[in-house]
Amino acid sequence: MRNAQAAIQRRLLDPEFLQRVIRRGLLAFAISLALNVLLGLALAISVSHTPHVRYIYHDSLGKPRELIVTDQPYFSDAEINDWAVKKVTNLYTMNYVNYARHLDEASVDFDIPAWNSWGQAFKGPGNIDFIKAKRVFLSASPKSAATIRAEGKTSSGIYEWHVHFPMLLKWENSSGSTTNLLSVDVTIQRTNSPEHPDGLVITELNAPRASDSGD
C-alpha cells in the first residue's frame, strides 16, 4: 500500500507528467471555449435573422402557394419605400411607341379601382394623345427619398402604407424637353392574390403637379 502511494506521489511530482496534464487541461479549456463561442454566434444569428412566417396552401389545381398574411407589415419601411418609388417611376416611364404595352404591363401593380382611377386622371387631360401626336419620350425619377406618412390596418384588417415622394417627370421629343415636378401620394396594401406575387398592391395613386398640390 505504501509502495503504491509512493509511486503515485512520484508520478504527481514527475515534471513530464505534470506538463501532459496541463496541456490536456488547456486543450479541454480551449475546446470548451470554442464551443461556447460557436453556440453564442449561432444564438445571435438565430435572433437577428428570424425567418418570416410562411403559410402554404394548395390552389384549385393542387399547386402549393404561399398564403400571404395580410394583417401584418412583413416588409420593412425601406422595402416599402423602394417598392413604391420603383413601381411609380416605372409607370411614368414610357414613349409613343411602347405606351400601350407598357401601361398594360404596369397595370398588374394596381387593383382594378385604383388603375381605373389613375387611368382617367392621366388620360383625361389628353396626355396619351399628346404622347402619340408629339412622339414624346416620358421618363420619371424621384426628386428626393420617399417617406411613409401613415401605416396600419384598414377597417377590414388589411395592412397598408401611405407613401409620399416628389417626382420629376420629363417630357422630351425632337423639339426639346420640359420637366414637371409631381407630388406623388401612393397607398399600398398587403395582398395574398396570386395576381400580385410581390404580396403588395397599389390601391390609390395621386400625382398632381407640385404647384397644384401645395408642395
Q: For 198-210, what is each residue's pLDDT tens digit?
A: 999 999 999 999 8
In the numeric block, which cell numbers belong to residue 156? Answer: 377590414
Q: Which domain holds residue 151?
A: 75-213
Q: Which of 20-29, 78-87, 113-122 has the lowest mean pLDDT?
A: 20-29
The answer to whether the pTM exceeds 0.75 is: no
**What is the rounded distance in angstroms from the CA atom of residue 99 to the CA atom of residue 95?**
5
- The pLDDT, as a whole number, for residue 214 is 45
3-state secondary structure (DSSP) of residue 149: strand
150 and 44 share a domain?
A: no
More confident: 65 or 159: 159
Task: Please report, for the domain that includes residue 177, its CATH number.
Answer: 3.10.450.230
Q: For 119-152, what is each residue's pLDDT tens digit?
A: 999 999 999 999 999 999 999 999 999 999 999 9
Q: How many domains does the chain have?
A: 2
In the numeric block, which cell numbers belong to residue 131? Answer: 404622347
147 and 183 share a domain?
A: yes
Does pLDDT of 105 surpass 60? yes
87 and 137 share a domain?
A: yes
**What is the rounded distance in angstroms from the CA atom of residue 202 to the CA atom of residue 86?**
12
Does pLDDT of 7 surpass 90? no
**What is the rounded distance in angstroms from the CA atom of residue 143 to the CA atom of residue 86?**
13
199 and 122 share a domain?
A: yes
Does pLDDT of 115 surpass 70? yes
79 and 25 share a domain?
A: no
DSSP readout, 85-108?
HHHHHHHT-EETTTHHHHHHHHGG
The answer to the question of residue 129 being in a domain is: yes
Does pLDDT of 22 surpass 90? no
81 and 19 share a domain?
A: no
pLDDT band at 96 (very low <50, low <70, confident <90, very high): very high
**What is the rounded distance in angstroms from the CA atom of residue 142 to the CA atom of residue 206?**
15
The H or E element containing residue 168 is strand 159-173
pLDDT band at 85 (very low <50, low <70, confident <90, very high): very high
